[in-house]
Structures are given as C-alpha cells and as structure tokens.
Amino acid sequence: MSSAKPSLELLRSITDEHVLRAVMTRGRLTRTEIASLTGISKPTVSDSVRRLSEAGVLADTGERTTGRGRAGLYYSLARSCGTALVTSITPHGVSAEAVDAFGQVVARSSARLGRSSGLEPAAEALAQAAAELRREVPGGLRCAVVSAADPVDRASGRLVELPDVPFVVGELDPVAVLAPLVDGAVRVDNDVNWAARAERGGGCAAGVDDFVYLHLGEGLGCAVVSDGQVRRGHRGLAGEIAHLHTEGPDGRAAVLTEVFAALGLRHEASTAIDVEALRKAVDAGGAAAERVLDALARAVCGVLSAAVALADPQLVVLGGPWGGEPAVARTIGERFAESPRAVPVAQAQVAAPELAGARAQALEDLRELVISGPRGLAATGAPS
C-alpha cells in the first residue's frame, strides 16, 4: 500500500473547489461563512480566498457585515467568470439566454424563424442571437448548450434531416456556427432529450431511473431514459417515432404521422401537426370529439406498447403542447391501462422543459469551467 501523501498543490486545488462551490451556491459569503459551510479552517479558507482573488476568480463585493465585532468582507465570483449560452432552435425561432454560475438568467435574445426556413436563415438566426448576448454579458460566453427541434447526430452535433420532418433547417451545424462566439464546449441535443432530463431533475419523473418521455406537439418525439441516462442510440436518432407503424383511425396499420393526415390535423403542405386544430377537435365535445380522441389514443398507445416492449420503463411521461391536454392525457392513460404490459402514465410538470434541461447542463458546465480555470472543456457536439 502506498504511503504517499497528496501534494500541496492538490490540497489547495481541493480547497479552492470547495470554496468556489460554496460561493456559487450562496451568491456571496464572508470567509467566516465559507469556513462554517465547508468545515475548512478559517486560515485555510483565507489562503484560498486570497489565491482565488489574485487569479481573478473571486472579488470583494464592497459589502461588509454589520453588528458587533470586526466587519467581514463579502466575496463573490468576479464578473470575468463569464456566462453560459443556452439556446433553443424551434419552428418559431431561436431563443437564447446567458446564464451565470449562480444559475441566474442575466440576458436574453431571440430571432425569428419559420417552419421551413432552411439552413442559412437558421444559421444566421442562431449566430445573431448568440452575438447579441456576447456583446451584453461581461466575461463572454464560456460554453453553450443547444436544444434543437430536430434529430441530432451524436458524434458531430449536426442536425439530421430525416424524410418528412416538420421543421426543415437542413443539416445545421450549431457547433460550427457558435464556435467563433463561444470560448469552450458547445453541446447539442434534441429538445425531447433535454425535456426528459428536466422532468427527471424536478418533475413527475424525479428520481425515476427508467422511463419514457413522449413529446406530442407539432412534431412527435420520444426520449428513453434507462439507468438514469438518456439513451441516444448509435447516431443519436433513438426515439424518432414519427414513422413507426401503429393503429390508424380505420383500425388498420398506419404510419404514426399519417394518422394525423387522415384526421385532417396536419398543416397544409407539411407533416407538422396542427395543434390548434387538434385542440378544437377534442374540445368540441360530442361524438366527433370522442372519435378523434379514440383515434389519437389508439395511435399513441401503439407507439407506447412498442416503447415498453423495448425499454421496459417504470413510467411513461406525456409532454408537449397537446400531450398535456387533460382530455388527451386521460384518454391515453385509460386505454394504455388496458394493454398487456401497462405502466403508469403521468403528465409532464416542468414548464419549457427543453430549456430547463439545457439550462441545468449549461450551469453544470460553466461551474466546472470556473473551478478548472483555464483548462476548460474540449469542444464537442454531444452531451456526455
């Protein structure tokens, strides 16, 4: 057994990490408060605060404690620690936000898109939104997380153009677009995968290691979470369910996306589902609404049966603009409860889950960058 002792440099690095994590959690702290929170002696904390201040990571806020005794100095992260870029690419446009290491959104930007915008307008919109934020925030954009309403190639982070996709931006490469504007890593993943991570982090799937997240909106998607991790598949295309065969309105086999065409619930000249038309159809009441609800439930439950057979989840989560409609969720839940391998069906709870999931990853990445200093993260197109 080795009797080698850890080096002084390693011990200092560990202390500095504890100090920084305490400050990032609380926002501002005195040295006495840091010592109390971390259990590290005050002299050791004082040495760490001095090192981190000299390195430009911590800064004296100018605030002091009040009351009896010697006033304590409050320290916080220096503004030069920068922010993380969180951006979402959808048929409606690009939305972007800069998040600091405290988890606060400090700036927002957006750019409009259309459902069939194409590659160049999408790239321009993404670059424009990121450039606006970079000009606004001190310390620059140190890393980025991108949520895309399209399949994402696992190795490169480039968007994948599949047949009949409702949102057409071609093989957009967010990593390449953002590289001149972001100092470090650019992570890219499909919006449904980020939504599933958010739901596991603080929604109806909190603490559940094995579940299926079904997104029902203008597009159709599925995320499979197994052993606590989103399973993305060899190319990153796991969960692309639009072309699965299921039960159609006439009781015969049909491709899932064609079910909506048969029901008259797709946008003209597009495979995108007309969410407003769908809502009106199920809210109208009467026999017609019941027929639409029944057809939707049979089609969705056919997909869920395939997902349960392959992934063996503990829970099914329904999300998306019409997946959260009470009548839709209730009808799907009741029908799926009759299937041979039924599992509980729950409605998603997290608002804007794709941004919430991406934001949580961006915060984690940024904090690691603050702690690791100039070493940073290697640029990559895919989440780890």
Q: Which two tokens stand for residue 197?
A: 């991570």
CA atoms of 86 and 90, how far apart (whole Å): 13
| Phi, psi for 372 (deg, rounded to 5) | -80, -10
pLDDT at 381 (0 to 100): 56
Amino acid letter, residue 52: L
Residue 208: Cβ-neighbour burial (10 angstroms; 0-12, 13-18, 19+): middle
Burial 304-318 (b: 16+ CB within 10 A, else e): bbebbeebebebbbb
| Helix axes 42-54 and 8-26, enclosed angle (nearest 10) | 80
C-alpha 253 chain-centroid distance: 34
pLDDT in the model for residue 307 = 95
CB 160 within 8 A of CB 153: yes
DSSP element (H, E) containing 212: strand 211-216
Contacts of 108 (CB under 8 A, 6+ apart): 95, 96, 97, 98, 133
Tell me the whole-structure pTM to 2 decimals. Answer: 0.91
Indicate if the alpha-carbon torsion angle 84, 384, 358, 75 is positive or negative.
negative
pLDDT at residue 2, as a whole number: 57
Sign of the CA dihedral 175, 176, 179, 182? negative
Q: Which residues pair with 361 in a beta bridge?
A: none
Q: Are strands 83-90 and 141-148 parallel, antiparallel or unpaired?
A: parallel
Give the separation between CA 381 and CA 143, rounded to whole angstroms. Answer: 12
What phi-psi label fits residue 157: left (phi over 0), alpha (psi between -120 and 50 degrees) or beta?
left
Is the four-CA dihedral 272, 276, 282, 288 of positive or negative sign? negative
Q: What is the pLDDT of residues 11-24, one digit of tens each?
A: 899 999 999 999 99
Tokens encoding 135: 């000009």
SS3 at position 230: strand
- CA–CA dist 301, 293 (Å, integer): 12
**Confidence at residue 375, expressed as pLDDT on a 0 to 100 scale:** 36
pLDDT of amino acid 377: 34
Assess contact for 310 and 204: CB atoms under 8 A: no
Structure tokens at 160: 């994948």
Side-chain-side CA neighbours of residue 108 (13 Å): 8
User: What is the model's pLDDT at position 380?
Assistant: 45
State which residues of the chain have pLDDT below 70: 1-5, 69, 114-117, 165-168, 374-384
In order of 219, 274, 352, the CA distances from 321 in angstroms are 10, 11, 10
